[in-house]
Amino acid sequence: MAKTEKTKQIELALWREKNIQGTFGCFEVTIGWFGTEIVDFITYKTNGEFRCYEIKVSKADFKSNAKLSFHGDFNYYVMPIELYEELKNEARKDVASIGYYSEKEKDNIFDTRLKNQNIGLITISSRGYLQTQINPKRKCPDLSIRMTLLQSMLRSSNREIEKFYKVPGHGYWE
């Protein structure tokens, strides 16, 4: 399935912000040798820290049954600010009739649910700027998960390099 323009905009913003010295990133990383999970973007820092990013561009995308690959030390949803506001309003409506929530709790119920799952949230503005709305809590993946993530990133990075070398007219092997 072709990527939407919004997805491409988010990928570009993530790449620009996370492509810094000591941090390595890769898109569409299949987890494990025969994995059925694909993380949209993952970064690895030289201090051994992994961050996983799941890109969501619509309410249907956010609510889909697709497996979420939150295996990193820190894990995030990344979405347009408009989607974030829509999801917050929907969550507020869901609990509006429940009497034991205060008005402030109702306003923040979506954020609270993500925080309770230890998941962070980054939004992208219409101008392409990323902003962290919710900081994730550290998860402590064991050594076998770390090795799987590193191997998965390496395989996926090799796939992307192979695509680059096949582009006609780039001149590398010509």
Confidence of residue 36 (pLDDT cuts 50, 70, 90): confident
Contact call for residues 114 and 79 (beta carbons, < 8 A): no
pLDDT (0 to 100) of residue 95:
79
pLDDT (0 to 100) of residue 172:
62
Please, what is the average pLDDT of the chain? 89
Mean pLDDT of 33-54: 92
Is the pLDDT score of 131 beyond 80? Answer: yes
Is the pLDDT score of 147 beyond 90? Answer: yes
Contact call for residues 142 and 134 (beta carbons, < 8 A): no
Radius of gyration of the chain (CA): 18
Question: What's the distance, Cα to Cα, between the start and end of the chain in Å?
Answer: 31
Min mean pLDDT across 43-52, 102-111, 134-143 is at 102-111
Q: Structure tokens of 23?
A: 């941090």
| Backbone φ/ψ region at 171: left (φ over 0), alpha (ψ -120 to 50), beta | left
pLDDT tens digits along 70-110: 999 999 999 999 999 999 989 888 877 776 777 777 788 88
Phi, psi of 141 (to 5 degrees): -65, 145
**Site of tokens 């395989």:** 155
